[in-house]
């Protein structure tokens, strides 16, 4: 009996050995590939490539990468790829020389090493929800698309306090994994938004009143540095880099895994309400009261908006309400729920369901712009935002397909108090400065010829509201990276001292400034 069993097991054992050997070989191959110098020399690309065409480095990088990974260089496929992978068609119009989809941190490190050696300009993409061209796309360069880095696991299934999340995940993937386990993390309120950009820029969640922004809930980052090392970055290992990653965006390397604090979370209540425009004052009133009373109930989350009906003729005032427990019409949101509505989706729900609902309000294949400003909360300032929005929306709303929206959110005192957790973040917002009012002006439109008009209106809205706030003594310098337009100075808004510190940390971990020079899109230091 015994020998037969042993014999029967032999093929399985051999297979296992072969697999182990293959994996070992693969690991060695990856290490060998990591040394690109000889291969670059063979291709005739030297360090001094000043006489070469701007994207020669990328043509060579794309060519060399094919030896390590599947790389798509075919122009029809790269164009089709761009169209499918981005939320805003302004990004989708940008066609890379090639795109690559690494599956491990080691592969990302090899790619980073190669772009640095070939001087190939690159962009990094997670969920592709940056609104403007070049945010996570690059014309004639290399797009490093992280979608296959999609790990999703609990660090300790018995006592789940940390979820390991690859940047290839969208928030809906994370919620579909955690919600049935009665767990959650500080993730996006819209299903399809990517984990990467959201978490590196800030991250406002339904659960922020209780736990802070997403960047405050990251225990550890697995980071590929600009010099192609793979680091585990946490408060103890690299406190400076850990601080910088909490708000510093794409400037310090490529995050290949976020280890996110995980908390118990069951059924919720919430949805979206729409009221006739004559109720705007009541909506403002409820929001202003909520801003100052929110500390009393950390399960309650609310923001308000003004938008237009589909035929663009009627303005509506609305709110997005969420309550983190299964309590219908909670008292903390009572000032909102008593306002008469023309439509309401308030219901018993869960985070995945809510995120899907809000996703449907943000369709893809449109041109999109986001724009932001921050003020101290006051009724006067709220009214000013509404009045200026209505005036400026009037200048663009009758162009075909243009739909302007005003979204007003809060950075509550509680949220700010959590910014100092785990050594703090780099946003430059101090305790005692809240509650703050975060203006976001999303616009969608269809025709490229309307770009100038739409972006002009967006700029006027932020300039005029800022001017008014300065006059009223209600201006705050902070610009939220995740809502900022490409021409806004995000890192200057973190304050001089923080900007200097961020630049020092960047020079320490990226002495050649590869991520500043070769990664032109989005917000640089």
Ligand X SMILES: Cc1cc2nc3c(=O)[nH]c(=O)nc-3n(C[C@H](O)[C@H](O)[C@H](O)COP(=O)(O)OP(=O)(O)OC[C@H]3O[C@@H](n4cnc5c(N)ncnc54)[C@H](O)[C@@H]3O)c2cc1C
Which long-range contacts does 68-76 make (Cβ < 8 Å, 24+ apart)?
68/30, 68/33, 68/107, 68/110, 69/100, 69/101, 69/102, 69/107, 69/111, 70/100, 70/101, 71/98, 71/99, 71/100, 72/98, 72/99, 72/100, 73/97, 73/98
The residue range among 156-164, 200-208, 329-337, 421-429 that interacts with ligand X, by the rule CB under 6 A, is: 200-208
Query: Residue of minimal CB distance from ligand X?
Result: 196
Which token pair is 369? Answer: 């712009």
State the CB neighbour count (10 A cutoff) for residue 521: 24
Q: Are 192 and 355 in contact (CB under 8 A)?
A: no
Single out the residue of 111, 185, 200, 315 in contact with ligand X (rule: CB under 6 A): 200
201 binds ligand X (CB under 6 A): yes
Between residue 359 and residue 418, which ones bind ligand X under the rule CB under 6 A? 362
Single out the residue of 33, 119, 129, 316 in contact with ligand X (rule: CB under 6 A): 129
Which token pair is 134? Answer: 């070049």
Minimum distance, C-beta of residue 470 to ligand X, in the bound complex (Å):
25
128 binds ligand X (CB under 6 A): yes
320 binds ligand X (CB under 6 A): no
Coil, strand, or helix at residue 255?
strand
Sequence-ordered list of residues with C-beta below 8 angstroms from that of 76, at least 6 positions apart, any chain: none
Between residue 86 and residue 115, which ones bind ligand X under the rule CB under 6 A? 87
Which token pair is 300? Answer: 């309650």
Nearer to ligand X, 143 or 279 (CB): 143
Nearer to ligand X, 102 or 194 (CB): 194
193 binds ligand X (CB under 6 A): yes
Between residue 456 and residue 495, which ones bind ligand X under the rule CB under 6 A? 482
Which token pair is 155? Answer: 């660090």
- What angle in degrees, to the nearest 10, is found between the helix axes of 56-65 and 105-118? 150
Nearer to ligand X, 290 or 370 (CB): 370
Minimum distance, C-beta of residue 108 to ligand X, in the bound complex (Å):
9
Minimum distance, C-beta of residue 123 to ligand X, in the bound complex (Å):
6
188 binds ligand X (CB under 6 A): yes
319 binds ligand X (CB under 6 A): no
Strand order in the sheet with 230-234: 152-154, 162-165, 254-261, 218-224, 230-234
Single out the residue of 120, 138, 254, 490 in contact with ligand X (rule: CB under 6 A): 254
Applying CB under 6 A, the residues found at the interface with ligand X are 87, 123-130, 135-136, 146, 167, 188-190, 193-194, 196-198, 200-204, 249-250, 254-255, 362, 482, 522
């Amino acid at each position: 009996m015994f020998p037969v069993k042993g014999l029967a097991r032999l093929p399985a054992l051999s297979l296992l050995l072969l697999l182990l050997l293959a994996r070992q070989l693969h690991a060695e191959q990856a290490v060998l590939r990591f040394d690109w110098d000889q291969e670059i020399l063979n291709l005739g690309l030297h360090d001094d490539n000043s006489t070469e065409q701007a994207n020669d480095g990328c043509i060579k990088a794309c060519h060399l990468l094919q030896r390590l990974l599947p790389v798509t260089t075919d122009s029809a496929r790269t164009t089709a790829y761009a169209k499918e992978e981005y939320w805003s068609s302004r990004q989708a119009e940008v066609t890379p020389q090639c795109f690559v989809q690494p599956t491990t941190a080691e592969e990302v490190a090899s790619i980073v090493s190669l772009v640095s050696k070939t001087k190939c300009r690159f962009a990094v993409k997670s969920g592709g929800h940056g609104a403007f061209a070049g945010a996570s796309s690059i014309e004639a360069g290399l797009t490093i698309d992280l979608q296959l880095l999609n790990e999703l696991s609990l660090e300790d299934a018995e006592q789940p306090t940390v979820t390991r999340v690859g940047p290839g995940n969208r928030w809906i993937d994370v919620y579909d994994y955690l919600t049935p386990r009665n767990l959650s993390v500080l993730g996006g309120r819209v299903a399809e938004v990517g984990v990467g950009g959201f978490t590196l820029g800030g991250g406002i969640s339904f659960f922020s009143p209780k736990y802070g922004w997403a960047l405050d809930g990251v225990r550890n980052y697995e980071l590929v540095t600009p010099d192609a090392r793979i680091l585990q970055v946490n408060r103890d290992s690299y406190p400076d880099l850990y601080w910088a990653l909490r708000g510093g965006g794409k400037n310090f390397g490529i995050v290949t895994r976020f280890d996110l604090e995980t908390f118990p979370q069951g059924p919720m209540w919430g949805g979206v309400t729409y009221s006739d425009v004559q109720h705007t004052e009541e909506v403002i009133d409820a929001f202003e009261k909520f801003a100052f009373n929110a500390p009393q109930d950390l399960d309650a989350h609310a923001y308000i908006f003004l938008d237009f009906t589909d035929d663009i003729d009627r303005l509506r005032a609305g709110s997005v309400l969420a309550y983190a427990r299964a309590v219908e019409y909670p008292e903390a949101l009572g000032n909102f729920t008593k306002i008469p509505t023309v439509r309401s989706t308030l219901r018993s729900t869960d985070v995945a369901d809510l995120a899907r609902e809000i996703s449907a309000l943000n369709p893809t294949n449109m041109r999109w712009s986001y724009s932001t400003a921050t003020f101290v909360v006051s009724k006067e300032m709220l009214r000013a935002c509404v009045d200026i929005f209505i005036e400026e929306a009037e200048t663009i709303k009758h162009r075909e397909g243009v739909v302007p929206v005003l979204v007003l959110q809060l950075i509550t005192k509680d949220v700010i108090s959590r910014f100092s957790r785990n050594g703090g973040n780099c946003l430059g917002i101090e305790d005692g400065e809240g509650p703050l009012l975060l203006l976001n002006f999303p616009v969608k439109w269809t025709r490229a010829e309307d770009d100038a008009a739409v972006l002009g209106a967006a700029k006027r809205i932020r300039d005029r509201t800022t001017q008014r706030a300065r006059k009223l003594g209600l201006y705050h310098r902070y610009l939220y990276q995740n809502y900022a337009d490409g021409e806004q100075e995000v890192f200057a808004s973190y304050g001089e001292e923080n900007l200097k510190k961020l630049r020092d940390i960047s020079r320490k971990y990226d002495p050649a400034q590869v991520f500043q020079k070769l990664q032109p899109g989005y917000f640089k230091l």
